[in-house]
Structure 1
Amino acid sequence: MKMVFRWYGEGNDSVTLQQIKQIPGVEGIVWALHDMPAGEEWPMDKILEYKKLSDEYGLHLEVVESVNVHEDIKLGLPTRDHYIENYKRTIAKLATVGVKTICYNFMPVFDWMRTDLYKEMEDGSTALFFDKAKIAAMEPQELVRSIAENPDFTMPGWEPERLQRVGPLIEQYQQVTEEELFENLGYFLREVVPVAEAHGIKMAIHPDDPPYSVFGLPRIVTSQANIRRILELVDSPSNGVTLCSGSLGANPENDLVAMVHEFAGRIPFAHIRNVKVYPNGDFIETSHRTSDGTVDITGIVQAYHDTGFEGYARPDHGRHIWNEVCRPGYGLYDRALGIMYLWGVWDAAARAARREA
């Protein structure tokens, strides 16, 4: 398991590379050009800026999250080929600076979705919260406005320019079924996976967050069966999954331990985080500790160890603790605590395996 840490760039993150370097076991940063609109080819000079910064601190930049997929590709419009060609050229450029894994998602219109960015917990910390009934009762534009009220940091997946068109975009998807979304994903993968494979890069699709339809939009990266189908669309080691325990764990019916075992070898990137799911479907992001949430983090890390996982892993969203001012879900303190918990479980599994040998 190779530990990495998501970083949003100089001037766009409350966490510094010096701080990341001091977290035990962290080898690299997870990065992206967050100012690039989806569908545009990434410029080499901006890629090299990240390479220079990471080299200064001895951190690699082998994982990109995300090279966003243009909506025309998801919709299957004739214009998709232009954006797919841009994507291919970006893949080739990223390979030149040592990128090995590209995380992306295929969620229509919205990326991750929450109703409260700073929900207070019993201990006084705050965390990202999803109110299922509130989402069901609100208009999409209202959700966009609430997320946009956080002006201090860019919100990945919530680009203001794109979401100004949220109404027309949702209307376009009213004609797209889940089956058609699968077909459009297959078209995209058949084009880009051979390019990724040729450049030694693994594509890793991120699950939908949450893993079910919201606002009537089709969602397909939601379950073990659907992920299996996606991996079968193009049978290549370069067609993989970013197995996010928090996204998939928002549906308690998803068995994450079983997924780790089934998809071993096709998980180049793991997001490991915990959520507490309430009986009414609401959920809140908790510490990484297994007993604080609904997700079996201990069992998941054990499964990664048992399957010989050699991919990249990062702690995902953390709570906001100790009065830290940070991007929602992406502070330093709770994610660093999360890393130490994950290493503790991993080290215990390794020690137990040595005793049994």
Structure 2
Amino acid sequence: MRMGFRWFGEGNDTVSLAQIRQIPGVETIVWSLHDVPAGEEWPMDKIVALRDEVAAGFNIDVVESVNVHEDIKLGLPSRDRYIENYKRTIEKLGEIGVKVICYNFMPIFDWLRTDLHKELEDGSTALFYEKARIDNIDPFDLVAKINENSALTMPGWEPERLAHLTSLFEAYKGVTEEKLWDNLKHFLDEIVPVAARSGIRMAIHPDDPPWSIFGLPRIMTGQANFRRFLKLHDHPSNGITLCSGSLGANPDNDLIAMIHEFKDRIPFAHIRNVRRYDNGDFIESSHRTQDGSVDIAGIVQAYHDIGFTGYARPDHGRHLWGEVCRPGYGLYDRALGIMYLWGVWDAAARSANKEGSR
């Protein structure tokens, strides 16, 4: 397992590279060009500048995300231009040594929460999903809530994109799940050969949460759908970002079974915990297994058992000790999460070594 840390760039992140460097075992900066709009080709000078910025002490093997333009998801005639831009971006990233690109195919919203700072029993705060509120809220009100008090843009909630919310909802009225599957297959057939030639593995992220919201189609929701996805373009460069937090919001998802079934097609893993409630709510807890509803220790053990050599990162963390940061992306809890993941991994390795010496 190769440990990474998501970083939003100088001037766009409250966490510095110097701080990340002090977290044991982190070798990969998980990055993106957040100022390039979805669908546009990434400029090579910006790519190289960021690579050079993080070169001292880190690799730049994982990009998260090269966002997919809505016209591609909608299957509009204009998608061809955006797909060509996507291909050229893949080629450029391959030239500088990128190994994995994480992306998603979620209509309109990349992820959904109702409260960015819900207080937990210990006084920390975390991202929270309240089912009853989602069932009754106007999506326009939710967009305003998410973006109301932050100088730091939330990934997937960029105001310039969501300014077109009315037309986007109108455009998706005729898009069924099957149509979205068709549009995804077309996208994969275009980009996977380019990724393969460039030495890159594409890794789709699950829908977050893994069910339909606001009547929009969602298809990356569980084991059966991932099985179908991998068959759409059966090639090692077509893979999965297995996110335990996104998938773990649904108690029917067996994360450990997915790790074993898809072991050859998981180049990237997000490992985080959530605490589920019987009414459909969930909140993001610490990474520690006992603090949530997801068997994080079992998940890390499963990765060790399959000989996982891909990339992983702690995902959303709580907000601790008064830290002012992008919601979910502070320093302290993600650093604690990394040390928990390494502790479980080291225990698994030690146990395996003892078994092998008998």
Q: Give 1:20-59 correspondences, 5 Å limit.
A: 20-55=20-55, 57-59=56-58
Q: Secondary structure at the match of 1:61?
A: coil
Give the TM-score normalised by structure 2. Answer: 0.99
Structure 1 residue identity aligned to 2:247: L
Q: Secondary structure at the match of 1:288?
A: coil
Structure 2 residue identity aligned to 1:205: I
Query: 1:264 — aligned with what?
Result: 263
Structure 2 residue identity aligned to 1:281: G
Q: Secondary structure at the match of 1:38?
A: coil
Stretch deviating more after TM superposition (142-151 or 182-191) = 142-151
Q: 1:345: how far off?
A: 0.4
In the alignment, the residues of structure 1 paired with residue 169 and residue 317 of structure 2 have an alpha-carbon distance, to the nearest angstrom, of 30
Query: 1:61 — aligned with what?
Result: 60
Q: 1:151: how far off?
A: 2.5
Structure 1 residue identity aligned to 2:73: K
Summarize deviations over 1:314-346 as a string: whole Å, max 9, x none. 000000001111100000000000000000000
Q: State the identity %.
A: 72
Q: Give 1:154-303 correspondences, 5 Å limit.
A: 154-303=153-302
Structure 2 residue identity aligned to 1:215: F
Q: 1:172: how far off?
A: 1.1
In the alignment, the residues of structure 2 paired with residue 28 and residue 263 of structure 1 have an alpha-carbon distance, to the nearest angstrom, of 23
Structure 2 residue identity aligned to 1:190: D
Query: 1:339 — aligned with what?
Result: 338
CA RMSD of aligned residues (A): 0.6
Summarize deviations over 1:183-210 as a string: whole Å, max 9, x none. 1000000000000000100000000000
Stretch deviating more after TM superposition (44-53 or 3-12) = 44-53
1:86 aligns with 2:92: no
| Contact 2:147/2:153, CA 8 A, preserved across alignment | no
Summarize deviations over 1:85-118 as a string: whole Å, max 9, x none. 0000000111111100000000000011100000
Query: 1:131 — aligned with what?
Result: 130
Q: 1:22: how far off?
A: 0.8
1:122 aligns with 2:121: yes
Structure 2 residue identity aligned to 1:129: F
Structure 2 residue ranges without an equivalent (≥5): none
Structure 2 residue identity aligned to 1:21: R
In the alignment, the residues of structure 2 paired with residue 162 and residue 170 of structure 1 have an alpha-carbon distance, to the nearest angstrom, of 13
Q: Secondary structure at the match of 1:128?
A: strand
In the alignment, the residues of structure 1 paired with residue 79 and residue 128 of structure 2 have an alpha-carbon distance, to the nearest angstrom, of 34
Structure 1 residue ranges without an equivalent (≥5): none
Query: 1:8 — aligned with what?
Result: 8
Structure 1 residue identity aligned to 2:69: H
Q: Secondary structure at the match of 1:270?
A: strand
In the alignment, the residues of structure 1 paired with residue 24 and residue 321 of structure 2 have an alpha-carbon distance, to the nearest angstrom, of 20
In the alignment, the residues of structure 2 paired with residue 22 and residue 152 of structure 1 have an alpha-carbon distance, to the nearest angstrom, of 26
